[in-house]
Structures are given as C-alpha cells and as structure tokens.
Chains A and B, each alone.
Chain A
Amino acid sequence: RKEVEQDPGPFNVPEGATVAFNCTYSNSASQSFFWYRQDCRKEPKLLMSVYSSGNEDGRFTAQLNRASQYISLLIRDSKLSDSATYLCVVNVGSAQFYFGTGTSLTVIP
C-alpha cells in the first residue's frame, strides 16, 4: 500500500478556472502535511503547509481531514504560471517524509 496517493492527472484547465487536488495518506500517525510544486526538472518548492484548521494563502487553500486521511489543495483563478506538478508530502515523524507521485496541472490560455 502506498504511503501517499495522488491522482496523477493531467488536469488541463482554462485560465481563471478553479481546480482542486486531493491526496490520501495511509499512516494515521502522520504528523505534518505539505503541498509543494515542482516545475519540470527542477527542485520541489514549498507551496504551503497544511494545518488542521485549514489555511489559505492568496489564491491557494489547503485543507486537512484527519478522520478520512486526506489533504486537499484548491487553486482559484488559475494563472498560466500555476502550470506545474503539485506534490503532496506527509511527515510520518522522526524526520521521514513521503511524497506522492504528483498531480500535473496545465493552465491553458
């Protein structure tokens, strides 16, 4: 069973659209959760941490549902520059992190 699962997509959306990604994790003892974005052949860059109460950063909103063991990312008013792969990352404690396979997003003009 995979530690972190994501729908690989691809998601192709028009500029201005709202798009949502989900991610599920298997370890109920997981402690912290993050969304990263990765551009082609580049390093992962932190997008946002995900808190139990949910959090928002501009056009991006992250939610955590511990009972169902899933994390979501909502992007509003998509921009061309949002085109990337979005990685769900879960910390299972003791400095060990698991990455999902990533969800590919292309925003179309």
Chain B
Amino acid sequence: EPEVTQTPSHQVTQMGQEVILRCVPISNHLYFYWYRQILGQKVEFLVSFYNNEISEKSEIFDDQFSVERPDGSNFTLKIRSTKLEDSAMYFCASSVLENNEQFFGPGTRLTVL
C-alpha cells in the first residue's frame, strides 16, 4: 500500500540554524501539506501546495518557513533560523484533491536547543 514517507525521523538542531525536513508524498497525489504538532497540543495546519506553488498558508507559516518540490518526488519544508518554539513534530500529508482525505507520514520530531 502506498504511503507518505518522511526523513529524518528525529532532527536536533541549535537555535538559529536552518533545517530542511523532507517528505515523499504518495505518487499520484496532487496536494501536499505540512502540519506541526507541539507536544500535548493539537495538529496545526502550516501550508498546502499544489501545482508547484503554495495554495494556502496559516499565520504560523511566516517568512522563516518555505516549501519546495525540488524534483518529481520530494517535498521539503525549510525553517531558516530555528527558534526554541519551533520544537514540535512536523507531519507531511498528501491528498488526491484539495478536499479529499489526507494521508500522513510518520513525522519528523524537531528539537531546537
């Protein structure tokens, strides 16, 4: 069964450093998403991406964040200068259409020290 994959599973970084989180969505899906979940809190929408551009983004997704689909399979989230409060689980998801069921990857746990 096709699935969304994410790497790395855990990333530890120093405050102020740049991180890139990677995702491989399900191959025939057209919409890609990033979410974050701070420990003990709800899943929060960051951004959706379709046809090589951002479709929607939340208030959390400020200038420190960017997304890219550098090739036909990968979808990345870059945080330019990490802050302590960026520590969270980051989930990638994909869906066939914009209002369809989404399928989530296993997440990357980001720890900012």
Contacts and interface: CB of A to CB of B under 8 A. Distances in A.
Q: Give chain B's interface residue range (CB within 8 Å of chain A).
A: 20 to 34
Interface of A: 31-32, 34, 38, 41-46, 49, 87, 91, 93-102
Interface stretch (B12-20, B43-51, B62-70, B79-87): B43-51
Contacts of B102: 34, 46, 97
A94 B98 contact: yes
Q: Is chain B's binding surface mostly helix, strand, loop or mixed?
A: strand
A95 B43 contact: no
Contact of A46 (B43, B48, B55, B101): B101
Given A43-B107, A44-B91, A97 B100 contact: no
A9 B33 CA distance: 28
Contact of A31 (B41, B43, B44, B99): B99
A94 B100 CA distance: 11
Nearest to B104: A43
